[in-house]
Amino acid sequence: MITSETVIQTDDQLLRVDDVAGLTTLSKSCINLWVAQGRFPKPMTLSKTVKVWRLKEVRAWTEKMLGSAEVGYESA
């Protein structure tokens, strides 16, 4: 049953930095630093003050990081 409180997530859903921080458990400053360093996907700029990420890009990055962590753990 879909209620007004249900959030339907699609791959093309756009996320603000607070949403990305919640999904990744990274701080906003860490996300911004890693974007600048090329360690995190770059956001799309909708205006001077609004930057967003696609959910599928954040999920892909998370899966990549989890895969790297598992490989590192197994080889230790």
pLDDT computed for residue 76 by the predictor: 46
The predicted-structure confidence for 15-71, as pLDDT tens digits, reads as follows: 999 999 999 999 999 999 999 999 999 999 999 999 999 999 999 999 999 887 765
Model confidence at 9, in pLDDT bands (50, 70, 90)? confident
Please give the residue that has the higher pLDDT: either 26 or 72. 26
Query: In which element (H, E) is residue 51 found?
Result: strand 51-54
Structural domains of the chain, with CATH: 14-75 (1.10.1660)
pTM: 0.77
Nearest-10 Cα torsion for 72, 58, 36, 26: -70
| Dihedral (CA of 38, 63, 46, 19) sign | negative
Measured distance CA(46)–CA(60) in Å, rounded: 22
Question: Looking at the DSSP assignment, which residues form a beta bridge with residue 52?
Answer: 44
Contact in structure between 47 and 14 (CB atoms under 8 Å):
no
